[in-house]
Amino acid sequence: MTRTDGYLLDNGQSEAAERFDAFATLFDPTTFRHLEALGVGPGWRCWEVGAGGTSVVSWLAKRVGPTGRVLATDIDTSRIAPAGRPPVEVRVHDVGAEEPPGEGFDLVHARLVLVHVPDRDRALRSMIKALRPGGRLLVEDADPALQPLLCPDEHGPEQQLANRLRHGFRQLLSHRGADLSYGRRLPRLLREAGLRRVEADAYFPVTSPACAALESATVRQLRDQLVAAGVATHDDIDRHLANVASGDMDLATAPMISAWGRKG
């Protein structure tokens, strides 16, 4: 496989909605817990970076109320356009290539975004620049290299096939410029950028219907690319999708590491 720039999992494909729903089920409770702890409330000005779906945007809109503002940006806003009514503004924006779309935000949040951004250092600087003094930054990103397996309990041929496909998926991500060990570096990067009171934790789903739904949608979305890369045949993928649908497999995700801090 050769390096190809661009986001591997296009938001415009039909499986994207299924993936966003699965992400919301898996990760919204963790994200909302952190946002509540950061004190998000009425009147806050928030920037949701790489929003993708609407679940976090809608939660923020309810918290900030009519006196607040939620700016939701992405390179493809087709999935978040329905949320674009006050206090939410939806805007096309590339966080890794453009100047921040404003300053003075009380909160900037990105979930499962920067790992895919080619110039993620610039993106992080842009997000911090957009904060007011004392503003909060919450960055949540995966670390696939920390836990690379789809089936940590690899006890049979079904699990071996699943992990082979996951390895191929990771190769596709890497050759598109994703940093598969980015999540673990977030606390250090936030401190080095001058943020204060930096903390972090991780959430690692091991098995749930949402893990299975996410895996099914991802593999269906990438079927042709996995076959073209020689990772698997169409028969392999059909067999794997049937195994996933059986409900008898324990499917995990990469850990999502959440790191947060305040601008000095």
**Assign residue 105 a region: left if phi > 0, alpha if psi is -120 to 50, beta otherwise?**
beta
At 161, give phi and psi (nearest 5°).
Answer: -65, -45
- pLDDT tens, residue by residue, 12-54: 677 989 999 999 999 999 999 999 999 999 999 999 999 989 9
**Assign residue 36 a region: left if phi > 0, alpha if psi is -120 to 50, beta otherwise?**
alpha
The answer for residues whose C-beta is within 8 angstroms of residue 244's C-beta and 6 or more apart is: 162, 212, 215, 216, 219, 251
Rounded to whole angstroms, the Cα distance separating 58 from 60 reads 5
The answer for residues whose C-beta is within 8 angstroms of residue 12's C-beta and 6 or more apart is: 76, 78
231 pLDDT exceeds 90?
Answer: yes
Question: 33 is written with which tokens?
Answer: 């817990």
- pLDDT tens, residue by residue, 77-131: 999 999 999 999 999 999 999 999 999 999 999 999 999 999 999 999 999 999 9
Residue 39, number of CB atoms within 10 A of its CB: 11
At 263, give phi and psi (nearest 5°).
Answer: -80, 135
**What integer pLDDT is reported at residue 87 of this predicted model?**
98
